[in-house]
Amino acid sequence: MQISNIRTTPLFYVFLFFSCGFLIMIFQSTVSEDNSIHEPTFGVLHVDINGSKIALYNYKPKEAPKRTVFLLHGMKFSKENWKELGTLDHLRDHGYRAIALDLPGYGKSSGIHKNFPKEKFLKEFLEFFENRAPPVIVSPSMSGEYAVPFVFAHGALLGGWVPIAPVSLSSHTKEEYAKLSLRTLALYGENDKQFRTQVEVSLGVVPGVQLTMVPGGSHPCYLDNPELWHSSLLSFLDSL
Residues assigned a catalytic role:
141, 192, 219
Q: Which residues, at least 6 apart from 229, have a Cβ–Cβ distance to it below 8 Å?
A: 85, 87, 187, 214, 221, 222
- Reduce the secondary structure of the chain to three states and give it as a string: CCCCCCCCCHHHHHHHHHHHHHHHHHHHHHHHHHHHHHCHHHCCEEEEECCEEEEEEEECCCCCCCCEEEECCCCCCCHHHHHHHCHHHHHHHCCCEEEEECCCCCCCCCCCCCCCCHHHHHHHHHHHCCCCCCCEEEEEHHHHHHHHHHHHHHHHHCCEEEEECCCCHHHCCHHHHHCCCCCEEEEEECCCCCCHHHHHHHHHHCCCCEEEEECCCCCCHHHHCHHHHHHHHHHHHHHC
CA atoms within 13 A on the CB side of 174: 8
Contact 69, 40 (CB under 8 A): no
